[in-house]
Amino acid sequence: MNADMSEKSELRTELLGARRFLSVQDVQETAAVLARHALELPELADAGTVAAYVSVGREPGTRALLDALRARGVRVLLPVLLADNDLDWGAYQGPDRLEPAGRGLLEPTGERLGPDAVVTADAVLLPGLAVDARGMRLGRGGGSYDRVLARLAAAGADPALVVLLYANEVVERVPVEPHDHPVHAVVTPRGVSRFTGPTGPAGGG
Protein backbone atom coordinates (compact mmCIF):
# COMPACT_ATOMS: atom_id res chain seq x y z
CA MET A 1 0.00 0.00 0.00
CA ASN A 2 1.49 3.33 -1.04
CA ALA A 3 1.38 6.49 1.11
CA ASP A 4 -1.63 7.99 -0.68
CA MET A 5 -3.63 4.76 -0.32
CA SER A 6 -2.75 4.61 3.38
CA GLU A 7 -3.80 8.24 3.88
CA LYS A 8 -7.05 7.57 2.04
CA SER A 9 -7.78 4.59 4.26
CA GLU A 10 -7.17 6.61 7.42
CA LEU A 11 -9.36 9.48 6.22
CA ARG A 12 -12.16 7.07 5.24
CA THR A 13 -12.09 5.52 8.71
CA GLU A 14 -12.26 8.96 10.35
CA LEU A 15 -15.15 10.21 8.21
CA LEU A 16 -17.19 7.00 8.42
CA GLY A 17 -16.72 7.13 12.19
CA ALA A 18 -18.15 10.65 12.28
CA ARG A 19 -21.17 9.56 10.24
CA ARG A 20 -21.96 6.84 12.76
CA PHE A 21 -22.77 9.53 15.35
CA LEU A 22 -25.56 10.97 13.17
CA SER A 23 -29.13 10.21 14.18
CA VAL A 24 -31.88 9.18 11.76
CA GLN A 25 -33.39 12.65 12.27
CA ASP A 26 -30.05 14.30 11.41
CA VAL A 27 -29.88 12.32 8.16
CA GLN A 28 -33.49 13.07 7.20
CA GLU A 29 -33.25 16.79 7.93
CA THR A 30 -29.98 17.08 6.02
CA ALA A 31 -31.44 15.23 3.03
CA ALA A 32 -34.20 17.80 2.65
CA VAL A 33 -31.71 20.69 2.74
CA LEU A 34 -29.36 18.96 0.29
CA ALA A 35 -32.22 18.38 -2.16
CA ARG A 36 -33.21 22.04 -2.01
CA HIS A 37 -29.66 23.25 -2.69
CA ALA A 38 -29.02 20.64 -5.39
CA LEU A 39 -32.21 21.50 -7.26
CA GLU A 40 -30.99 25.08 -7.57
CA LEU A 41 -27.91 23.94 -9.49
CA PRO A 42 -28.27 24.85 -13.19
CA GLU A 43 -26.39 21.65 -13.99
CA LEU A 44 -29.31 19.67 -12.55
CA ALA A 45 -32.12 22.11 -13.40
CA ASP A 46 -31.25 21.96 -17.10
CA ALA A 47 -30.42 18.24 -17.25
CA GLY A 48 -32.49 15.81 -19.28
CA THR A 49 -30.76 12.76 -17.79
CA VAL A 50 -29.07 12.48 -14.39
CA ALA A 51 -27.11 9.45 -13.20
CA ALA A 52 -27.52 9.24 -9.44
CA TYR A 53 -27.66 6.65 -6.64
CA VAL A 54 -29.90 5.68 -3.73
CA SER A 55 -28.38 6.73 -0.41
CA VAL A 56 -28.33 4.10 2.31
CA GLY A 57 -27.60 4.20 6.02
CA ARG A 58 -26.04 7.50 7.09
CA GLU A 59 -24.94 8.62 3.64
CA PRO A 60 -26.05 12.16 2.77
CA GLY A 61 -29.60 11.54 1.63
CA THR A 62 -30.46 11.45 -2.07
CA ARG A 63 -34.02 10.10 -2.04
CA ALA A 64 -35.81 13.44 -1.81
CA LEU A 65 -33.65 14.68 -4.67
CA LEU A 66 -34.36 11.61 -6.81
CA ASP A 67 -38.10 12.09 -6.43
CA ALA A 68 -37.90 15.82 -7.14
CA LEU A 69 -35.87 15.25 -10.29
CA ARG A 70 -38.28 12.57 -11.49
CA ALA A 71 -41.23 14.88 -10.79
CA ARG A 72 -39.57 17.46 -13.05
CA GLY A 73 -39.49 14.94 -15.87
CA VAL A 74 -35.78 14.24 -15.60
CA ARG A 75 -34.69 10.74 -16.61
CA VAL A 76 -32.86 9.40 -13.55
CA LEU A 77 -30.45 6.49 -13.92
CA LEU A 78 -29.50 4.40 -10.89
CA PRO A 79 -26.53 2.04 -10.60
CA VAL A 80 -26.71 -1.74 -10.46
CA LEU A 81 -23.58 -3.29 -8.95
CA LEU A 82 -22.09 -6.08 -11.06
CA ALA A 83 -20.03 -9.00 -9.79
CA ASP A 84 -16.76 -7.36 -10.89
CA ASN A 85 -17.64 -4.06 -9.12
CA ASP A 86 -18.50 -2.34 -12.42
CA LEU A 87 -21.88 -0.63 -12.68
CA ASP A 88 -24.84 -1.36 -14.91
CA TRP A 89 -27.72 1.16 -14.91
CA GLY A 90 -31.51 1.14 -14.70
CA ALA A 91 -34.15 3.87 -14.81
CA TYR A 92 -35.61 5.13 -11.53
CA GLN A 93 -39.36 4.59 -11.52
CA GLY A 94 -40.16 5.58 -7.95
CA PRO A 95 -39.38 4.39 -4.42
CA ASP A 96 -41.72 1.41 -4.76
CA ARG A 97 -39.64 0.15 -7.69
CA LEU A 98 -36.44 -0.35 -5.70
CA GLU A 99 -35.22 -3.71 -4.46
CA PRO A 100 -32.56 -4.78 -1.94
CA ALA A 101 -29.22 -5.80 -3.42
CA GLY A 102 -25.80 -6.81 -2.16
CA ARG A 103 -23.83 -4.70 0.34
CA GLY A 104 -27.05 -3.19 1.71
CA LEU A 105 -27.70 -1.27 -1.51
CA LEU A 106 -31.01 -0.55 -3.22
CA GLU A 107 -31.28 -1.00 -6.97
CA PRO A 108 -33.99 -0.24 -9.53
CA THR A 109 -36.22 -3.03 -10.78
CA GLY A 110 -36.85 -3.27 -14.49
CA GLU A 111 -34.67 -3.24 -17.58
CA ARG A 112 -30.90 -3.10 -17.34
CA LEU A 113 -29.52 -0.50 -19.73
CA GLY A 114 -25.86 -1.52 -19.77
CA PRO A 115 -22.71 0.07 -18.30
CA ASP A 116 -22.47 2.55 -21.18
CA ALA A 117 -25.86 4.11 -20.36
CA VAL A 118 -24.08 6.53 -18.03
CA VAL A 119 -22.48 8.35 -20.99
CA THR A 120 -25.93 9.74 -21.87
CA ALA A 121 -26.13 11.64 -18.57
CA ASP A 122 -25.95 15.42 -18.48
CA ALA A 123 -24.99 15.27 -14.80
CA VAL A 124 -23.64 12.50 -12.56
CA LEU A 125 -24.12 12.43 -8.79
CA LEU A 126 -21.12 10.66 -7.29
CA PRO A 127 -21.14 9.13 -3.82
CA GLY A 128 -18.23 10.21 -1.69
CA LEU A 129 -16.80 10.73 1.75
CA ALA A 130 -14.96 14.00 1.19
CA VAL A 131 -14.01 16.67 -1.33
CA ASP A 132 -11.13 19.10 -1.00
CA ALA A 133 -10.51 22.66 -2.16
CA ARG A 134 -9.32 21.39 -5.56
CA GLY A 135 -12.52 19.42 -6.13
CA MET A 136 -10.78 16.08 -5.58
CA ARG A 137 -13.18 13.44 -4.25
CA LEU A 138 -12.56 10.66 -1.75
CA GLY A 139 -14.73 7.63 -2.51
CA ARG A 140 -15.23 4.47 -0.51
CA GLY A 141 -12.43 2.66 -2.33
CA GLY A 142 -14.41 0.04 -4.24
CA GLY A 143 -13.37 1.39 -7.62
CA SER A 144 -16.84 1.31 -9.20
CA TYR A 145 -16.97 5.03 -9.87
CA ASP A 146 -13.37 5.11 -11.06
CA ARG A 147 -14.63 2.87 -13.87
CA VAL A 148 -17.59 5.16 -14.48
CA LEU A 149 -15.32 8.21 -14.77
CA ALA A 150 -12.94 6.33 -17.06
CA ARG A 151 -15.89 5.28 -19.23
CA LEU A 152 -17.11 8.87 -19.48
CA ALA A 153 -13.64 10.06 -20.47
CA ALA A 154 -13.22 7.30 -23.07
CA ALA A 155 -16.55 8.27 -24.64
CA GLY A 156 -15.66 11.96 -24.71
CA ALA A 157 -18.64 12.66 -22.44
CA ASP A 158 -18.38 15.68 -20.14
CA PRO A 159 -21.31 15.65 -17.70
CA ALA A 160 -21.37 17.81 -14.59
CA LEU A 161 -19.88 15.79 -11.71
CA VAL A 162 -21.58 16.60 -8.39
CA VAL A 163 -21.08 15.21 -4.88
CA LEU A 164 -23.46 15.52 -1.91
CA LEU A 165 -21.71 15.69 1.47
CA TYR A 166 -22.08 16.80 5.05
CA ALA A 167 -20.45 20.16 5.83
CA ASN A 168 -17.53 18.64 7.78
CA GLU A 169 -16.62 16.47 4.78
CA VAL A 170 -15.30 19.39 2.74
CA VAL A 171 -11.68 19.12 3.81
CA GLU A 172 -8.39 20.90 3.13
CA ARG A 173 -6.81 18.04 1.20
CA VAL A 174 -7.77 14.62 -0.11
CA PRO A 175 -4.91 12.24 -0.98
CA VAL A 176 -4.96 11.61 -4.73
CA GLU A 177 -3.74 8.94 -7.10
CA PRO A 178 -3.14 9.29 -10.86
CA HIS A 179 -6.57 7.90 -11.80
CA ASP A 180 -8.52 10.34 -9.59
CA HIS A 181 -10.72 12.98 -11.26
CA PRO A 182 -11.90 16.34 -9.85
CA VAL A 183 -15.60 17.02 -9.54
CA HIS A 184 -17.35 20.18 -10.70
CA ALA A 185 -19.44 20.92 -7.60
CA VAL A 186 -20.11 19.83 -4.05
CA VAL A 187 -23.45 20.32 -2.29
CA THR A 188 -23.57 20.50 1.52
CA PRO A 189 -26.19 21.80 3.95
CA ARG A 190 -24.35 25.14 3.78
CA GLY A 191 -24.84 25.47 0.02
CA VAL A 192 -22.93 24.80 -3.18
CA SER A 193 -19.24 25.17 -3.98
CA ARG A 194 -18.04 24.89 -7.57
CA PHE A 195 -14.61 24.01 -8.88
CA THR A 196 -12.85 24.74 -12.14
CA GLY A 197 -10.90 21.50 -11.85
CA PRO A 198 -7.78 20.42 -9.98
CA THR A 199 -6.39 23.96 -9.76
CA GLY A 200 -8.91 25.39 -7.33
CA PRO A 201 -12.45 26.61 -6.63
CA ALA A 202 -14.35 28.81 -9.02
CA GLY A 203 -16.77 30.04 -6.42
CA GLY A 204 -18.78 28.98 -3.43
CA GLY A 205 -21.77 29.37 -1.31
Q: Which of 60, 76, 77 has its CA nearest to residue 187?
A: 60
pTM for the full model?
0.89
Instruction: Flag whether pLDDT at 199 surpasses 80.
Output: no
Are 165 and 174 in contact, with CB atoms under 8 Å apart?
no
Specify the amino acid at residue 116.
D
Are 130 and 170 in contact, with CB atoms under 8 Å apart?
yes
Instruction: Flag whether pLDDT at 200 surpasses 70.
Output: no
The predicted model gives 174-200 an average pLDDT of: 81
CA distance 159 to 123: 5
Instruction: Flag whether pLDDT at 1 surpasses 50.
Output: no
Give the residues across from 197 on adjacent strands.
200
Confidence at residue 87, expressed as pLDDT on a 0 to 100 scale: 96
Q: Which of 175, 145, 169, 200 has its CA nearest to residue 58?
A: 169
3-197 placed in CATH 2.60.40.10: no
